[in-house]
Amino acid sequence: MQNPNDDTEWNDVLRAKGIIPPKEKEVTEDDLVNMLEQTIKEKQATGDGKHITDMNLDELDELEDSEDEGILLEYRQKRIAEMKALADRSKFGSVLEISAQDYVQEINKAGEGIWVVLHLYKQGIPLCALINQFMHNLAAKFRTVKFVKSISTTCIPNYPDKNLPTIFIYFEGEMKKQLVGPVELRGPNMTQDEFEYMIGKAGAVPTDLTEDPRVAVKDKLFSDLKDLNNDW
């Protein structure tokens, strides 16, 4: 008996008339890859809507009882690697005070994948003191970023006070951004969010602030003034 899956003209006629069923599709390597990708997508969210890649190791252990072991094992290993990489990079957390002798080692040789935010300051300048406080807060918040400060003339002899405060931003030892003087650093009314936004815009910190907070402040001030005029 002729195989109905054979590629013959006669079989084509019989399939067209519905006498024999359509030819079974051969499963290719691409089909298998697509099936695996689809399976992974279907398993990427748990019943409560939590994405599998956001789960901790204990949650993955609980899920393994009811899900495909091979796929979950792959995600578990990936999650462990991500957590280890983050732990290796989360080694800062405070503001380091340096001198000129430390500059090359602590900044130019900070390491692969490391952002460094350097603040040149002097005692007695209010905006410098404000930024030092902001640096302290952000160092605790973004522990993978190296926050460094140095008295300006200790780090760079004869550095002019008119340029203070100064922020230098480095990545892997290469300068990416500089903010020099009180005008660029928005003066004594600059907020913590504004400072975070500015260094985040340079790429130094993974901030959630995607819009300039100062714009929002100006808009609110304009709105308040407009309301006040309407009251009059």
The pLDDT value given to residue 89: 57
Give the Cα separation of 205 and 28 in Å (integer).
Answer: 45
Cβ within 8 Å of residue 176, ≥6 positions away: 169, 170, 202, 203, 204
Pairing between β-strand 146-151 and β-strand 115-121 as defined by DSSP bridges: parallel
Phi-psi map region of 169: left, alpha, beta (phi>0 left; psi -120 to 50 alpha): beta
Using CA atoms, how far residue 213 sits from 145, 163, 194, in Å, is 22, 24, 6
Contact (CB, 8 A) for 140 and 93: yes
∠ CA(126), CA(181), CA(192), 5° rounding? 55
Query: How does pLDDT run along the chain (232 residues), one tens digit per residue?
Result: 555 556 666 667 676 766 666 665 555 555 555 555 555 555 554 445 455 556 666 665 665 555 456 666 666 666 666 666 555 555 788 999 999 999 999 999 988 889 999 999 999 999 999 999 999 999 999 999 999 999 999 999 999 999 999 999 999 999 999 999 999 999 999 999 999 999 999 999 999 999 999 876 555 544 544 554 555 5
The pLDDT value given to residue 103: 92
Architecture of domain 96-202 in this structure: 3-Layer(aba) Sandwich (3.40)
Question: Which sequence spans correspond to the domains of the chain?
Answer: 49-89, 96-202
Tokens standing for residue 83: 């957590």
Chain-centre distance for alpha carbon 15: 56
Phi-psi map region of 181: left, alpha, beta (phi>0 left; psi -120 to 50 alpha): left
Alpha helices in the chain (DSSP H): 9-16, 29-42, 57-64, 69-89, 103, 126-141, 152-155, 181-184, 192-201, 213-231
